[in-house]
Structure 1
Amino acid sequence: MVYKLLFSPTGGTAAVANALTDGQIVDLTDRSRDFSAVALTAEDVAVIAVPSYAGRVPKTAAARLAEVQGGGARAVLVCVYGNRAYEDTLVELADLAEAAGFRAAAGIAALAEHSIARTYAAGRPDAADKAELHTFWEKIEAKLRAGDDTAPALPGNRPYKPLAVHSMVPHTAKRCIDCGRCAAACPVGAIDATDPRRTDADLCIGCMRCVALCPVQARQIDPDALAALTARLAPLCAGHKENELFL
């Protein structure tokens, strides 16, 4: 059985994982789920896919993955980034997966539209990316069929870079219709279910899920803050970066 353990608040990471293969989804953004009840076996394969937040695994994803019982399943480790860099995300994900009982079989660094500054890697994964990811999966399957237990050599550093994510907390415009969709979907419960105009800035992880899901575009980032971020990222996100496979 193939399982896809996904932390994908805005859909980019899920798009990459779905281009790789089908499988039973374990949604790591679901704050109501008991992840300790998720148990795999050595016969299973897990695609563990997370976005890179400032070069690290999102803390929420790390905590929920730690609850899963890997059971010796082979793991394909996927980090998805918005055209800046993924830095230590893959090696941290490998360590988290090993601690949860998984055996790393492959690693992938893939591109998806930046979740905040959406002009960067816009439209990715595109058709060419998806075809390439499908080819990656065929190579991974060949390795698994051959019984090759070699762990992939992954780029990154231990100790990891300091976790210095400064969350950009979306605000709510007057056109909010109080549908509550954002509060129900927030991975960390930062939005007040009784008053979705209120967001707990201390809980918010800046994942932008509420922005992506709002049916009337009432959840927004401060325009000046967004413009400053976009300008700061410009020299770092220039050019067309390629997907990478590590076997």
Structure 2
Amino acid sequence: MFYEITFSPTGGTKKAADFLSAAWNEKTEIDLCRREEDFSQYTFNGEDICLMAVPTFGGRVPAIAAERLSRMQGGGAKAILVAVYGNRAYEDTLAELEDILKACGFLPVAGAAVVAEHSIMREFAAGRPDAADEEQLKGWSRKLKEKAEQGGPITFPGNRPYKKYGALPMTPKAGKDCGGCGICAAKCPVGAIPKDNPRETDGEKCITCMACVAVCPQKARSVNPVLLAGARAMLKKALEGRKENELFL
């Protein structure tokens, strides 16, 4: 059986995973953003193939995604690892994801690093994965399927120990246009927005995944513009230009 397992707060990772899953006629989807889900219920076996796609947060696997993946029982299932990054670098994401999955019994056999629109500064890699990416990733999907069926060793880039985790310290907040609908609270992967007062955000819980910004129907949530401008100035050089996707077989 084929599974597509994603942590995709703003949709870019899911879009990439869907393209890379195109060669499989049927799939079961597991959404790691669902905080109410009991991920320990998922037990796989050697006949299964799992495509695991996560975004890069500061060159690492998002901690909440790592924790939820670690509850699963791999049972020898073959794993395709996908790191999706916002046009800067994926650094140690694939290496860390490999270690997480091996520890809970998965067998990594292939993978990819894919560029998606930056979740905070959306002008960088805007619209990606785009039409050219779609054609490339769907072509890669057939190669991934062949490798997953054949098995065999795989080496992923990355450092051990991993780089120190560091993300942009920005907490999205509601503005005057907030209607209090609560969609952001329902979709927050970590429960940082109170259901009874969605205009508030718990800065200690927030992981700056930008899910609340992406789903707000009023476009009423945003990060501090001064902090955003500073981050843009600091990272502009690293984020410019078109980065290419990478395939690992």
**Shared fold per TM-score greater than 0.5:** yes
For residues 43 and 172 of structure 1, the distance between their equivalents in structure 2, rounded to whole angstroms, comes to 46
CA shift, 1:21, in A, is 1.2
Q: Which amino acid aligns with 2:192?
A: A
For residues 135 and 10 of structure 1, the distance between their equivalents in structure 2, rounded to whole angstroms, comes to 24
| Matching residue within 103, 109, 117 for 2:107 | 103
| Matching residue within 123, 129, 139 for 1:135 | 139
- Which residue in 1 is equivalent to 2:91? 87
- Which residue in 2 is equivalent to 1:148? 151
- Which residue in 2 is equivalent to 1:234? 236
Contact 2:110/2:148, CA 8 A, preserved across alignment: no
Q: Which amino acid aligns with 2:238?
A: L
- Which residue in 2 is equivalent to 1:9? 9
Matched ranges for 1:49-198 at <5 A? 49-145=53-149, 147-150=150-153, 152-198=154-200
CA shift, 1:136, in A, is 1.2
CA shift, 1:166, in A, is 4.0
Contact 1:70/1:102, CA 8 A, preserved across alignment: yes
Contact 1:172/1:220, CA 8 A, preserved across alignment: yes
Q: Structure 1, unaligned stretches of length 5 or more? A: none
The sequence identity of aligned pairs, in percent, is 51
Contact 1:90/1:156, CA 8 A, preserved across alignment: yes
- Which residue in 2 is equivalent to 1:244? 246
- Which residue in 1 is equivalent to 2:205? 203
Contact 1:71/1:101, CA 8 A, preserved across alignment: yes
Q: Which amino acid aligns with 1:148?
A: G
Question: Tell me, what secondary structure is at the counterpart of 1:240?
Answer: coil
- Which residue in 2 is equivalent to 1:225? 227
Question: Tell me, what secondary structure is at the counterpart of 1:233?
Answer: helix
- Which residue in 2 is equivalent to 1:32? 36
For residues 142 and 215 of structure 1, the distance between their equivalents in structure 2, rounded to whole angstroms, comes to 41
For residues 216 and 143 of structure 1, the distance between their equivalents in structure 2, rounded to whole angstroms, comes to 44
For residues 161 and 82 of structure 2, the distance between their equivalents in structure 1, rounded to whole angstroms, comes to 20
CA shift, 1:148, in A, is 3.2
Q: Does 1:41 align with 2:31?
A: no
Contact 1:20/1:134, CA 8 A, preserved across alignment: yes
Q: Deviations over 1:2-33 (max 9, x none)?
A: 11110000000000001111521110000000
Contact 2:95/2:159, CA 8 A, preserved across alignment: yes
Question: Tell me, what secondary structure is at the counterpart of 1:142?
Answer: helix
Contact 2:174/2:199, CA 8 A, preserved across alignment: yes
For residues 133 and 182 of structure 2, the distance between their equivalents in structure 1, rounded to whole angstroms, comes to 34
For residues 3 and 151 of structure 2, the distance between their equivalents in structure 1, rounded to whole angstroms, comes to 20
Q: Deviations over 1:175-222 (max 9, x none)?
A: 111100000110000001100011110000000000000000111111
- Normalised by the length of structure 2, the TM-score is 0.96
For residues 12 and 231 of structure 1, the distance between their equivalents in structure 2, rounded to whole angstroms, comes to 23
For residues 114 and 207 of structure 1, the distance between their equivalents in structure 2, rounded to whole angstroms, comes to 11
Contact 1:167/1:204, CA 8 A, preserved across alignment: no
- Normalised by the length of structure 1, the TM-score is 0.97
For residues 157 and 12 of structure 1, the distance between their equivalents in structure 2, rounded to whole angstroms, comes to 25
Q: Structure 2, unaligned stretches of length 5 or more? A: none
CA shift, 1:167, in A, is 3.1
Q: Which segments of structure 1 move beyond 3 Å, counting only runs of 4 or more? A: none
